[in-house]
Amino acid sequence: MANHAFSRPDMPGPQPVEATKVTALSTPRTAPLLHVSSGEVPDRIFKSLMTICGLAVLGVLVLIVYSLISGSRLSWHAFGFKFFAASDWDPVGEHFGALPFIYGTLVSSLVALIIAVPLAVGVAVFTTEMCPKVLRAPLSFFVELLAAIPSVIYGLWAIFVLVPLMSGYVEPFLGKTLGWTGLFTGAPYGIGMLAAGIILAVMIIPIISSIAREVLMVVPQHQREAVLALGATRWEMIRVGVLRNARAGIVGGIILGLGRALGETMAVTMVIGNRPDIAKSLFAPGYTMASVLANEFSEATGDTYLSALVEIGLALFVVTIIVNALAQLLVWTVTRGQPAKGNA
């Protein structure tokens, strides 16, 4: 108000125009709260439309939970907790136990993590701490390009390139050198737990490495300078000044990668062998929760069979939700210090 009064004498020209405006506006000014009334109804409609869209997101989650729980009720009543401890999968005799699938999912994901974590962290360290600035953007672009390849193409490549490589060279070599551990015994078919783990590793590397890179970049520059000033070499600086500070966030990224590995379907289904056995050797074929759904769901006959499959889906859903929530929490604790653009 004061500003207006002040600026008006400076410009004598527009003064009459503004004066007429003020008189024109003087009617609504008597009831200032009704000033927006002209736009109020469309505004309300707009807001409720957008709220409906927001509610739809909640609704989808509720729908997922509801349809999984109601779909698996039959199997739950028939087998109870024993469903997750029994290892016989007999659709003809209607005996269902999910243990081989749970085992296969866990082992293939674990193999994937063992391979992917060092590689992904190494790439993240190289791109943030070591490589020339020119290379930084193209390198991260190429690594993230791995995430854009559809799962089914990974599977195709694994069948025709990775599996022959495994059965011809990698598995005979591993069997000869590490056969005594019992993990690498049996016929080197190529197809099996190890091949599934390797292709999963390639698929989760971009996730782990991009989060690790983000977390490493949040580590304050003065941490690095301080360690260097103490006379550390570059590797000592990375180990003490960078990796130690970013530990929680990197673990978060690893868990996020684990969440992706647990639910990955197509590539794994194409190379794991799809046999519901529990074998110690990584050369042996296995089966995962996601791949049993992919293979048997559309052909399942009988309500108990379908219900057992839905229950496997429910278990997979619950596990991935827990794993993802944990990962989110860990990543947040590290990057929270950043200027948050999410909650302005």
Partner 1 sequence: MASPRREMPDPMSVPTPQVVVPPISLRRRVTDHVMTGVAVLTVVLVLAPLVAIFGYLVYKGLGSLNWAFLTQTPKPVGEPGGGMANAIVGSMLILGIASLIGVPFGIGAGIYLAEFGRNRFGAAIRFTADVLNGVPSIVIGIVAWALLVRGRGFSALAGGVALAIMMVPTICRTTEEMLLLVPQALREAAYGLGVPRWRTTLSITLRTATSGVITGVMLAFARVAGETAPLLFTALGNTFWNLRYDQPTAALPLQIYVYANSAYDDWHRQAWAGSFVLILLIVSSVAAVRYAVRRGSFGAA
**Does residue 36 touch partner 1 according to CB under 8 A?**
yes
d(C-alpha 63, C-alpha 261), whole Å: 24
SS3 of the chain: helix, strand, coil, percent, to 5: 80, 0, 20
Phi, psi values for residue 63, rounded to 5°: -60, -45
Could you give the CA distance from residue 150 to residue 155 in angstroms, rounded to a whole number?
A: 9
User: C-beta of 182: minimal distance to partner 1 in Å?
Assistant: 27
Q: How far apart are CA 4 and CA 26, in angstroms?
A: 16
Contacts of partner 1 in 279-308 (CB under 8 A)? 290, 293-294, 297-298
114 binds partner 1 (CB under 8 A): no
Are the CB atoms for 98 and 83 separated by under 8 Å? yes
- Least Å distance, CB 5 to partner 1, is 18
Contact between 45 and partner 1 per CB under 8 A: yes
The stretch among 12-20, 117-125, 167-175, 177-185 that binds partner 1 (CB under 8 A) is: 117-125
Site for partner 1 in 304-323 (CB under 8 A): 309-310, 313, 316-317, 320-321, 323
By CB under 8 A, which span of 10-18, 176-184, 189-197, 261-269 interacts with partner 1?
Answer: 261-269
* Interacting residue with partner 1 among 47, 77, 82, 222 (CB under 8 A): 47
Instruction: Give 228 or 281: the residue with its C-beta nearer to partner 1.
Output: 228
Q: How far is the CB of 185 from partner 1 (least distance, A)?
A: 26
Geometric angle at alpha carbon 71, from 67 and 75, rounded to 5°: 150
The first and second tokens of residue 18, run together, are: 């503004």
Q: Are 260 and 203 in contact (CB under 8 A)?
A: yes
For partner 1, the binding residues in 157-216 under the rule CB under 8 A are: 157, 159-161, 202, 205, 209
Whether the CB-CB separation of 193 and 104 falls below 8 Å is answered with yes
Q: Rule CB under 8 A: which of 224-243 touch partner 1?
A: 225, 228-229, 231, 233-236, 238
Q: Quick one: which of 294, 275, 264 has its CA closest to 89?
A: 275
For position 329 contacting partner 1 by CB under 8 A, the verdict is no
User: Which residues, at least 6 apart from 15, have a Cβ–Cβ distance to it below 8 Å?
Assistant: 8
Q: How many residues does the chain have?
A: 344
Nearer to partner 1, 110 or 281 (CB): 110
Residue of 14, 21, 46, 88 that binds partner 1 (CB under 8 A) = 46
Residue 11 in contact with partner 1, rule: CB under 8 A: no
Q: Which is nearer to partner 1, 185 or 207 (CB)?
A: 207
